[in-house]
A and B are shown apart, each in its own frame.
Chain A
């Protein structure tokens, strides 16, 4: 031994088991921090790819840029790529409504336009279109197509190439058509022109925006911002997106705190256990500062061993997430390397590990240094208790082992606080993240059972024979139809919301309290299946076809879509009367259920949306032809079935292929879900480890005490019970606090931070039961091995 400081490493080697435990828990915390940072880093990278795919790879745009402006912008050092984008308000391709745009060839890849065959349009009379549309309209390279622009200008174009499908336009049945810039400039129709700019990496886009705006004197109204992409990159200004990300940031910080707390707790326990040992060192002449140095040296040893393991494990954790994503979404994330190395994550893990161990070792070091040598030598200062006398009520209420278990936990206020906090934090986080998961489940349509693969619509109505034929077709899972129409419906004027009144202006109210409908309402029919599926969106009431039919029931929709935006127009309650104009006069209907929203959008603005049964729909409107048929396909042989379906349709029927869009939304859902559930798993792990760790050390530090209890006559079962009750006191306290705070957080998140998402808060029974079961299970498991160890020792060995 060269210096007294080598005592630290000697101690660690001598107590291999204990050292391993401390190293493992520090390493795990470091792993969690590294993992979380790497996951966040990767998540942003994945999100960026998603957003670029969805909205295009540009950061800013300048509307109606003049040539000088274009020149000035493209010649900037920080601009990576820029190109003109021209989009037309509407247009028709061979009589079919299409999305018309033009983009510079060099900027086409940024806008996700990939040429499959032919060449990019250059001449004034050239165009390209999506592959699915070309197939549908029987067009190929070299053909001539007719485009009708707004204002009925007609023009013929030669198809110079075919580009890849785009999920959104495919689902809407609107072919995406791209002209050449020269051609688009020639056309005299309503259009918007802009210069889209992609900046180089590492440029502060908000600063550049200011610089460009001031140097070129551009008004704010002329700037287009790709908010979704900018938000992911950290330059966001849109409230909804920032709200979503900042909520995520808050939750993320809590995770960080939990990780730091765990390292602190572990190290604290490990040092505090040996206070007596340090006191003995003081007895033989160690100074206070020497003790401090010794404790810190020990921390250093542990850090050096734990951090590399932790960082490696954390990286593996993040790889796992990336692996899952890459596996499920090869097309989108194919370019992402599997073994992505997050520098930010690694640095964060190391920094936080070192920092926390430093903090965690300096406080106990001070405490250890303060131990009086006398107390240490006699061992008389084991537990400090207040001077209060004790009446001993607990032992009168419960069996003594139960009472002592509770007492043991309650007496150590600091441990109780730390343990409960750590458990509570995890529960709060779990419940907080639940809001996101719920939001994703309810907002992303493809996660629902009624999402169609193919939709057919027709103005004239679809015949029953077609419906039957489709139902009989092999390769089809489900076919379901809906009727819809517009009716004049009125109800008590007080139910109209202010938001709606603002849109409409003055609403006339009659003497009987009913208003004169300023707009028609959308009425949709549901069959039994659809009523059943709608239950996931049910806020209040009951969805029974029989009851609706008997009682003239109608279903109100709380947040219908108006021009594609979710809005609350009428706050109808259960039992409200709705009066609908029918060919046979006014009919009184009763609101028997309220749905959160419907998965349909209509281009015609309507007062609100009502749903009823097929029978009542026919009674109310006199119509019985289906206007929409949704089809779900079997997973295999889809192309064959699709072409068979196409063969059954005539020109009046519009065919919407939703599959690609659904797959894209599913992919998006998966990206979010993998990371969110990854986070939740990490949080749960922190908690579980904390419980296990604390119970392990708690039992180990009370070895002697438990030995005495056994000598006095406590049986093995009683011992188990006592320790279990102590553990349960910790975990249940944390559980109760966590559930209360978690529910409060859910409410705050839903009503204050994310009111635009229209999620409805429900008491999370399932989650709470799940939490309880998990916590109980972990608590029981956590005490098994330490108790086993204790029992393996003879009583005489322990107490003498």
Chain B
């Protein structure tokens, strides 16, 4: 299997002197195409820093990230935003939907930003799979938390990106909704051959993953989890 994501000696340091914090220390690992990777670790361990670096939302102090063969931190901001909307899908803990746009618009937003015409049958299929077909004209604040997170999953899948990054997608949800969302993510990843990296607090969801990475005090270790 081809590696879609490779990190080399990724480091991130915040602050200087006494307030200096090493959020990430020499992280080197790779993720293969189609893999579902769970990232676990206590709060403050550097999970979110890692994910932000992988998604090019933040710049590392040193080190490299290759996504789909491209060194993302050598790209200019302008190219990077295009690269991001085509190749990376984000799912946040707080959903971060655009409150003024309806469900369908939120899902196709990355496509619209790319001036592409959405593939109607694919979007309808996505809405179906996510159980949102009935609510495509609803606004985010008319939906439950679970439904909102499903919209966010739809948005991440809309462009068929190379990789999807999810930062505690179940953090704001109850147990039932959390389980639904995680299994839906798993389903989508398999169905559309996506690569998913998910941060989670909940150890029980690691069973869904192909591989588990643990982050502790900024150090990333491969737990050699339940590899298929």
Contacts and interface: CB of A to CB of B under 8 A. Distances in A.
Contact of B139 (A385, A399, A400, A796): A385
A387 B101 contact: no
B112 A712 contact: no
Given A404-B101, A709-B98, A395 B78 contact: no
Interface in A372-431: 379-380, 382-385, 387, 389-392, 395, 399-401, 404, 407-408, 411
Nearest to A401: B113
Contacts, number: 103
Contact of B98 (A404, A716, A718, A797): A404
Given A714-B85, A795-B58, A382 B109 contact: no
Is chain A's binding surface mostly helix, strand, loop or mixed?
helix
Interface in B94-112: 94, 96, 98-102, 104-105, 109-110, 112
B85 A796 contact: no
Contacts of B115: 399
Nearest to B84: A713
A709 B104 CA distance: 16
A705 B95 CA distance: 11
A391 B58 CA distance: 35
B55 A800 contact: no
A200 B48 CA distance: 81
Contacts of A408: 100
B126 to A, nearest CB: 16
Contacts of B58: 794-797
Choose among A401, A710, A713, A714 the residue with the greatest number of B CB atoms under 10 Å from its CB.
A713
The bracket for how many chain B residues form the interface is 35 or more
Contacts of B84: 711, 713
Interface residues of A, number: 37
B48 A400 contact: no
A799 interface: yes
Interface string B43-57: 000001100100101
A717 interface: yes
Given A399-B115, A718-B113, A796 B99 contact: no
Contacts of B78: 715-717
B100 A711 contact: no
Given A390-B137, A713-B86, A716-B81, A400 B113 contact: yes
B57 A795 contact: yes
Given A710-B81, A713-B85, A383 B104 contact: no
Contacts of A395: 101, 105, 112
A794 B112 CA distance: 23
Given A385-B139, A400-B109, A715-B81, A796 B52 contact: yes
29 contacts: A383-B100, A384-B141, A385-B100, A385-B141, A389-B137, A390-B138, A391-B137, A392-B101, A392-B102, A392-B137, A399-B112, A407-B101, A411-B100, A708-B96, A709-B98, A710-B81, A711-B55, A712-B155, A713-B159, A716-B77, A716-B81, A794-B57, A794-B58, A795-B58, A796-B58, A799-B57, A799-B96, A800-B48, A800-B52
Given A385-B139, A404-B101, A711-B84, 11 more contacts: A385-B141, A390-B137, A390-B139, A392-B101, A395-B112, A705-B98, A711-B96, A712-B113, A713-B113, A716-B81, A794-B58
